[in-house]
Structure 1
Amino acid sequence: MKRDHDTWLVAVTAGRWQTHGIRSAQAAGLRVMALDGDASAPGLAIADAFAVVDIRSPDAVEKALRDSGIQPGGAIAFVSEAGMASAGHLREIWDLPGPKRVLTERLLNKYQQRSIWDAAGLPNPQWIMAENLDQVLNALKSIGLPAIIKPVDSAGSRGVSRVDDLAMIPHAVEKALSFSPSGKILVESLMVGTEYAVDTFFHKSQAWILSVTGKVKVPGSGGTVAMELASPDLDPAVVDAIGKTAVDALLALGYEEGPGHTEIILCEGNRPGLVETAGRGGGFMVFDKMVPLASGYDLATACALQAVGREPPQVHFKRQAVVLRFFPTVPGVVRRLDGFDAASRLPGVEAAPFMEIGKVVSKADSDGDRLGYILAGAETLKVVRDLADRAEAMIHVEIN
Structure 2
Amino acid sequence: MRLQILGGGNNQLGAIRRAAEMGHEVVLVDYFKNPPGRIYATFHEVVSTFDVEKNIDIAKKYGVDGVMTMGTDQPVYTVARVAEALKLPAFLDVPTARAVTNKEIMKQIMTANQIPTVPYRFLTKAARVEDLDKIPFPVVIKPLDSQGQRGVFKLTTATAVIDSLPETFSFSRADKVLLESYYRSDEITVSAWVDKGVPAILTITDRESFSFDRNIGICYAHEYPSRHQRREPEIRALVHSITRAFKIKAGPLYVQLLVGEQGIVVNEVAGRIGGAHEDIFIPYLTGFDILDRVINFSLGIDAVLAAGDQTRTARVNEHLSVQLFFAKPGKITSLTSLETLRKLPGVIAAGYNVAAGQTLETIANATARAGYLVMAGTTERALHESINQAFRALKIIDEQGQNLVIQPKAYREGSSQPAKMGPGAATH
TM-score under structure 1 length normalisation: 0.87
**1:178-210 C-alpha deviation (Å, 9 max, x unpaired):** 111113200001111111121222222222222
CA contact (8 A) 1:193 1:266 kept: yes
**1:95-138 C-alpha deviation (Å, 9 max, x unpaired):** 22222322211111011011000111011110001112625762
Relative to structure 1, the CA distance from residue 364 to residue 42 in structure 2 (aligned partners, 3 Å threshold; closer, same or farther) is closer
Q: Which residue of 2 aligns with 1:255?
A: 248
- The partner residue of 2:2 within 1, 8, 11 is 8
Tell me how far apart the structure 1 counterparts of residues 120 and 373 of structure 2 sit (CA, whole Å): 36
Relative to structure 1, the CA distance from residue 347 to residue 331 in structure 2 (aligned partners, 3 Å threshold; closer, same or farther) is closer
Amino acid at match of 2:143: P
Q: State the Cα distance separating 1:372 from its structure 2 match.
A: 2.3
- The partner residue of 1:63 within 57, 61, 71 is 57
SS at match of 2:100: helix
* Stretch of structure 1 that moved more, 167-176 or 112-121: 167-176
| Map 1:175-186 → 2, pairs under 5 A | 175-186=167-178
Q: 1:201 aligned to 2:193?
A: yes
Q: Which residue of 2 aligns with 1:288?
A: 279
Q: State the Cα distance separating 1:389 from its structure 2 match.
A: 2.1
Amino acid at match of 1:106: A
- Stretches of structure 1 lacking an aligned partner (at least 5 in a row): 1-6
- The partner residue of 1:267 within 256, 260, 263 is 260
Q: Which residue of 2 aligns with 1:3?
A: none
Q: Which residue of 2 aligns with 1:165?
A: 157
Q: State the Cα distance separating 1:343 from its structure 2 match.
A: 3.9
Tell me how far apart the structure 1 counterparts of residues 134 and 286 of structure 2 sit (CA, whole Å): 42
| Map 1:1-400 → 2, pairs under 5 A | 7-28=1-22, 30-68=24-62, 70=63, 72-98=64-90, 99-132=92-125, 134=127, 138=131, 140-220=132-212, 222-234=215-227, 236-268=229-261, 271-283=263-275, 285-309=276-300, 310-312=302-304, 314-317=309-312, 318-319=314-315, 320-334=318-332, 337-338=335-336, 341-349=339-347, 350-397=349-396, 398-399=403-404
Q: State the Cα distance separating 1:393 from its structure 2 match.
A: 2.5
Amino acid at match of 2:106: Q
Amino acid at match of 2:311: H
Relative to structure 1, the CA distance from residue 251 to residue 365 in structure 2 (aligned partners, 3 Å threshold; closer, same or farther) is farther
SS at match of 1:78: coil
Q: State the Cα distance separating 1:167 from its structure 2 match.
A: 4.8
Q: State the Cα distance separating 1:20 from its structure 2 match.
A: 1.4
**1:356-399 C-alpha deviation (Å, 9 max, x unpaired):** 34533333222111122222112333332232122122223524
Amino acid at match of 1:62: I
Number of aligned residue pairs: give it: 389
Tell me how far apart the structure 1 counterparts of residues 160 and 50 of structure 2 sit (CA, whole Å): 31
CA contact (8 A) 2:206 2:227 kept: no
Tell me how far apart the structure 2 counterparts of residues 136 and 323 of structure 1 sit (CA, whole Å): 43
Amino acid at match of 2:344: L
Relative to structure 1, the CA distance from residue 48 to residue 328 in structure 2 (aligned partners, 3 Å threshold; closer, same or farther) is closer
Amino acid at match of 1:153: D
TM-score under structure 2 length normalisation: 0.82
Amino acid at match of 1:59: E
Q: State the Cα distance separating 1:235 from its structure 2 match.
A: 5.2
Tell me how far apart the structure 2 counterparts of residues 328 and 245 of structure 1 sit (CA, whole Å): 33
Relative to structure 1, the CA distance from residue 274 to residue 181 in structure 2 (aligned partners, 3 Å threshold; closer, same or farther) is same
Amino acid at match of 1:116: I
Relative to structure 1, the CA distance from residue 170 to residue 201 in structure 2 (aligned partners, 3 Å threshold; closer, same or farther) is same
Tell me how far apart the structure 1 counterparts of residues 177 and 144 of structure 2 sit (CA, whole Å): 5
Relative to structure 1, the CA distance from residue 22 to residue 243 in structure 2 (aligned partners, 3 Å threshold; closer, same or farther) is farther
CA contact (8 A) 2:4 2:68 kept: yes
Tell me how far apart the structure 1 counterparts of residues 134 and 144 of structure 2 sit (CA, whole Å): 20
**1:20-43 C-alpha deviation (Å, 9 max, x unpaired):** 113333444544333222332343
Q: Indicate the percent of aligned positions where both proteins have the same amino acid.
A: 21
Relative to structure 1, the CA distance from residue 83 to residue 341 in structure 2 (aligned partners, 3 Å threshold; closer, same or farther) is same
- Stretches of structure 2 lacking an aligned partner (at least 5 in a row): 397-402, 405-425
Tell me how far apart the structure 1 counterparts of residues 187 and 228 of structure 2 sit (CA, whole Å): 16
Tell me how far apart the structure 2 counterparts of residues 162 and 42 of structure 1 sit (CA, whole Å): 32
* Stretch of structure 1 that moved more, 332-341 or 225-234: 332-341
CA contact (8 A) 2:208 2:220 kept: yes
Relative to structure 1, the CA distance from residue 164 to residue 214 in structure 2 (aligned partners, 3 Å threshold; closer, same or farther) is same
Relative to structure 1, the CA distance from residue 165 to residue 255 in structure 2 (aligned partners, 3 Å threshold; closer, same or farther) is same
Amino acid at match of 2:117: N
Tell me how far apart the structure 2 counterparts of residues 235 and 81 of structure 1 sit (CA, whole Å): 25
Amino acid at match of 1:305: N
